[in-house]
């Protein structure tokens, strides 16, 4: 397990893509699991197998990205998704 805390936050967009491609390649070739800690919802929804949402230190929601994006059960998660213009179309 590799814990990646904000792995792309300080990088420009082109380098972000390169880093994520490298990490995903490692996952496929070596079966490595990653725990991404990030505020980048687009990243989470595009690469994660499971997503956990934290609010005030508590894990409030866990599920597959499609379910979290389209039918969140917690109001905080829905507001978080709606606040991102690129993701507001996913909010159910």
- Predicted pLDDT at 40: 83
- Predicted pLDDT at 83: 85
**How far is it, in rounded angstroms, from Cα 22 to Cα 34?**
12
Walk along the chain (92 residues) and give the pLDDT tens digit of each residue: 999 999 888 888 888 889 888 998 999 999 999 999 988 888 888 889 999 999 999 999 999 999 998 899 999 999 988 887 666 455 44
**How far is it, in rounded angstroms, from Cα 26 to Cα 7?**
15
- Predicted pLDDT at 12: 87
CA distances from 41 to 7, 38, 72 (A): 13, 8, 14
- Predicted pLDDT at 87: 61
């Amino acid at each position: 397990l590799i814990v990646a805390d904000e792995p792309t936050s300080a990088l420009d967009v082109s380098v972000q893509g390169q880093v994520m491609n490298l990490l995903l390649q490692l996952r496929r070739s070596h079966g490595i699991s990653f725990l991404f800690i990030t505020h980048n919802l687009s990243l989470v929804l595009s690469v994660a197998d499971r997503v956990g949402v934290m609010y005030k230190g508590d894990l409030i929601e866990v599920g597959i990205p499609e379910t979290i994006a389209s039918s969140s059960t917690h109001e905080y998660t829905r507001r978080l998704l709606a606040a991102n213009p690129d993701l507001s179309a996913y909010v159910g």
